Structure 1
């Protein structure tokens, strides 16, 4: 295993508690890949706006991830950062903002995500101008695609190149598009592009059926899982929510509902989480609870890193990459 300065630092100083869990989880991730297993990574929260692409794109290029589940926000916000980065505004004093301050941001077309404001005109509308044409062209041809496939078409067409404001190597979506990496985007409707698509359907300018559905995404994932479990598939979950809950259920669905009793459990599980178990949240459930749902085996390597994913995920990825 190659060890760069970051990996050596982590292994020297991260010895206990969440720090030790980080090292153990990263090493076990590497062990999975060394065995020939594949890995799914799930992205919740605002990881794309947090610019996870700076390191996650390299994970994709180096084949350290074979499948992604993400929210609609993460799918589009990586592209928004690609085409509008210099127009973003950071608000480090966001805790001190008054309602009037927030209203002023709205009137300036700045949508705030914690300390970062996404520009409406340069981000959302630039993408909308081109993606709507791609949607309509597909419909005119009688074609249907998944949300991520439409975004791949957008990126690979080159129609937005004039807007690029960061190095392409820092866009995880572009890296994924180049590899045609499989993605599921559960609940895509709960995103800006999903809302925009819905508006065109309600105006009668597009058919809802032009966009493939979440049920079809589950079938797509099930087909991939059954074809890629000869050695094992691991599950690395960043945050909680639907990005993790949706894909992890493919195993009990195949076993219990499709009655494929030879389907293997996930071969590895790690979650970076700040959710509290006692609140009854699925996101905060300890890995052992997943055994009772038929998602993990009793012997599956299991890890929880209770910390901030924007701090922890880049360190885990750096270790996996040997940086």
Structure 2
């Protein structure tokens, strides 16, 4: 064969031994060549080389039980503090369970094999292999209801304002407990990064808002404000000549709420736009089931959510 096949022009797989003290970027470049590791390496390069450009606005969506496992503090908060994330869509559950850490409440490693009827008898809650006392829920609920009765919450607001105010009160509690940056709400509050929830009633935070509503107390959540605010973040970034990037952990409602900003701009408001510029998703969902969680960026192109260029 006189000329190398076009299929053999990719980088050569030339692994190096993993040694003591290897840095994360060296590990990815020198050992992550194929299978899901290869995809992860390409994702890392996309994030660093393209999505972190000065003119790129990065939206992050969070689904699945990330924060009970400690991934809020260990993984997501550093992204916010480094200035790598500009706005966030989360499930309410991730914010609620992350608040346990801000209140100094303990979650423990457990086992997914334990008998749940015995856990119920012992007053222990299980999230796969994470366990904690039922009192953790009651203490968190009591804190949320108490702050939601404060004057700043007695009005109609979007979820970004709700979570900003919650972050302020949680930061005050952290200070009293001698803690620092123990949950997403406090980190985002200090960084000025808005956090939206796509389904405000679908979590214990929303349940406590609903309980106070029965007594004509607390905030009224305006979901239309959230739809328009998130679309305006994307439209403003693109109109200023910048780019929009989406970083997706999991899928579900937060993923859709993040991506629907483009159909809101183009399809509903009738404004000229081409879609988000960069799409990076980490998920265990499959595309062949038809659910959005596993839907590929190629499919999103057909909706106008992603710019094909």
TM-score category (smaller protein): 0.7 to 0.9
Task: Please identify the structure whose Cα radius of gyration is greater.
Answer: 2
Q: CA deviation at 1:171?
A: 2.7
Aligned-partner Cα distance in 2 for 1:205–1:103: 37
| Higher mean C-alpha deviation, range 238-247 or range 144-153 | 144-153
Aligned length: 284
Q: Deviations over 1:259-304 (max 9, x none)?
A: 101x2410100111111222111111121111111101222xxxxx
Which runs of structure 2 are paired with 1:157-176 in the superposition (5 Å)?
Answer: 157=169, 158-161=171-174, 164=177, 168-176=180-188
CA RMSD of aligned residues (A): 2.4
Q: Deviations over 1:165-188 (max 9, x none)?
A: 8x5244332211102211210112
- Aligned counterpart, 1:63: 83
TM superposition score normalised by structure 2: 0.83
- 1:49 is paired with a residue whose SS is helix
- 1:112 is paired with a residue whose SS is strand
Among residues 132, 151, 161, which one is paired with 1:118 in the alignment?
132
Runs of 4+ in 1 over 4 A off after TM superposition: 162-165
Which runs of structure 2 are paired with 1:76-155 in the superposition (5 Å)?
Answer: 76-85=96-105, 87-92=106-111, 94=112, 96-97=113-114, 101-122=115-136, 124-138=137-151, 142-155=154-167
Per the alignment, do residues 18 and 161 of structure 1 end up closer, same or farther by CA in structure 2, a change over 3 Å counting? Answer: same
- Aligned counterpart, 1:211: 220
Per the alignment, do residues 89 and 43 of structure 1 end up closer, same or farther by CA in structure 2, a change over 3 Å counting? Answer: same
Among residues 62, 75, 81, which one is paired with 1:43 in the alignment?
62
Q: CA deviation at 1:198?
A: 1.7
Query: Higher RCO, 1 or 2 (CA under 8 Å, sep at least 6)?
Result: 1
Aligned-partner Cα distance in 2 for 1:177–1:226: 23
Aligned-partner Cα distance in 1 for 2:263–2:166: 34
Aligned-partner Cα distance in 2 for 1:7–1:270: 18
Unaligned runs of 5+ in 1: 300-323
Contact (CA 8 Å) 1:131, 1:151: kept in 2 or not? Answer: no
- Aligned counterpart, 1:275: 285
Q: CA deviation at 1:159?
A: 4.6
